[in-house]
């Protein structure tokens, strides 16, 4: 005879029947303190056991046998702590899975490509869709009379948007920052700046989308995100040899773009966009420009060629 599966809700209900922590502390003690101290103590016990294992190696045979018991005690205190805050372990588990799926790329390799229907502008006419593949060149322009070097963006053999300088006291390379808009385009399928100023693909057929998603406020938000990420990267060697961004930085992107369509994209894809953008930016800066290739279905932006 097999027992039915035990759910987290079942466990929490059963653990509640053996909770004798309430009422045994000093007068006025917060009843939530007991399970929190229990959690800390059981985690400490588990770590102390592992310390003995590191010291004694295979001679400490009890460690593996004790792991399940210690994890069980941790689970009991966790369920009890959730009770103290009137929270459901089921709800906590679901929310945590949502959070981790948002932050970390799934192991499923099919996730490396984005289907046609999942593009943010898939329902709009082709001339209002971001190009699914593109080749863009960023090259220097003559600015002999100006205070700083400038670059221009070329797509379909035509100059797009305005020539850009660093607008900083030092040669920061910020003049190449359109690469970050192109990375957002390729990896996230989103960039109000690139959509309007480089590709000319604003969604005029829907006045509300044109105003909210492709309009001035969205453009300012993306420029703000890019400026924030550039300031962050400048304190971390422009992300050279960096393969992960800290969670707070990614959450800042989500805060900036709350209410816009790009909020549908998981944070691990935001991380991809930032890292790919800076990989291409470092090559643009080192070579004084170059040619980039973007592929929205593969979620890739690559530096492919130096200038002649």
Q: How confident is the model at residue 96, as a pLDDT? A: 95
Tell me which of 146 and 3 has the higher pLDDT: 146
Enter the DSSP assignment of 3: P
Write the burial class of residue 201 (CB in 10 Å: 0-12 exposed, 13-18 middle, 19+ buried). Answer: buried
Q: How confident is the model at residue 161, as a pLDDT? A: 86
Q: Are 120 and 128 in contact (CB under 8 A)?
A: no
Q: Which tokens belong to 218?
A: 């969205």
- Return the bridge partners of 139, or none: 152
Q: How confident is the model at residue 109, as a pLDDT? A: 56
Mean pLDDT of 42-47: 91
Tokens 């322009």, located at residue: 141
Q: Is the pLDDT at 98 greater than 70, yes or no?
A: yes
Please give the sequence-ordered ranges of beta strands (E in DSSP) within the chain, or none if there are none.
Answer: 133-141, 150-155, 158-165, 290-295, 300-305
Q: How confident is the model at residue 56, as a pLDDT? A: 79
18 falls in which pLDDT band (50, 70, 90)? very high
Least confident stretch, 63-72, 79-88, 166-175, 292-301 = 63-72
Q: Which residues contact 259 (CB under 8 A, 6 or more apart)?
A: none
Q: What separation in angstroms does the CA of 157 have from each of 138, 143, 172?
A: 12, 21, 27
Mean pLDDT of 71-94: 95
Q: Is the pLDDT at 230 greater than 60, yes or no?
A: yes
pTM summary value = 0.86
Least confident stretch, 92-101, 102-111, 242-251, 293-302 = 102-111
Backbone angles phi, psi at 121, to 5 degrees: -110, 25
For the chain, give the number of residues: 308
What distance in Å separates the CA atoms of residue 41 and residue 78, rounded to the nearest whole number?
12
232 falls in which pLDDT band (50, 70, 90)? very high
Mean pLDDT of 43-56: 86
66 falls in which pLDDT band (50, 70, 90)? confident
Q: Which tokens belong to 19?
A: 């909770």
How is the chain split into domains, by residue range? 8-103, 111-305
Q: Are 116 and 296 in contact (CB under 8 A)?
A: no
Class of the CATH-defined domain 8-103: mainly alpha
Q: How confident is the model at residue 1, as a pLDDT? A: 46
68 falls in which pLDDT band (50, 70, 90)? confident
Mean pLDDT of 263-281: 97
């Amino acid at each position: 005879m097999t027992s039915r599966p035990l759910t987290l809700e079942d466990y929490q209900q059963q653990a509640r029947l053996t909770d004798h922590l309430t009422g045994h502390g000093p007068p006025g003690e917060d009843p939530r303190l007991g399970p929190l101290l229990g959690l800390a103590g059981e985690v400490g016990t588990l770590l102390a056991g592992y310390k003995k294992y590191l010291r004694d190696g295979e001679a400490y045979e009890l460690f593996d046998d004790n792991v399940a018991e210690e994890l069980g005690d941790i689970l009991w205190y966790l369920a009890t702590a959730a009770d103290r805050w009137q929270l459901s372990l089921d709800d906590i588990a679901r929310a945590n899975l949502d959070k981790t799926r948002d932050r970390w790329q799934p192991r499923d390799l099919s996730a490396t490509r984005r289907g046609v229907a999942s593009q943010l502008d898939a329902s709009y006419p082709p001339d209002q869709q971001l190009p699914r593949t593109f080749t863009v060149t960023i090259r220097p322009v003559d600015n002999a009379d100006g205070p700083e070097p400038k670059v221009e963006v070329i797509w379909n053999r035509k100059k797009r948007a305005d020539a850009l300088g660093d607008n900083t006291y030092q040669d920061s390379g910020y003049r190449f920052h359109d690469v970050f808009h192109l990375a957002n385009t390729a990896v996230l399928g989103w960039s109000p700046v690139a959509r309007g100023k480089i590709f000319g693909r604003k969604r005029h057929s829907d006045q509300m989308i044109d105003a909210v998603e492709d309009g001035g406020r969205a453009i300012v938000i993306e420029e703000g995100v890019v400026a924030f990420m550039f300031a962050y990267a400048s304190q971390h060697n422009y992300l050279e040899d960096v393969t992960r961004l800290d969670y707070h930085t990614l959450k800042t992107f989500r805060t900036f773009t709350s209410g816009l369509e790009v909020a549908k994209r998981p944070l691990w894809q935001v991380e991809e966009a930032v890292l790919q953008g800076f990989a291409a930016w470092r090559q643009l800066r080192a070579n004084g420009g170059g040619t980039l290739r973007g592929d929205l279905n593969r979620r890739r932006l690559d530096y492919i060629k130096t200038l002649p």
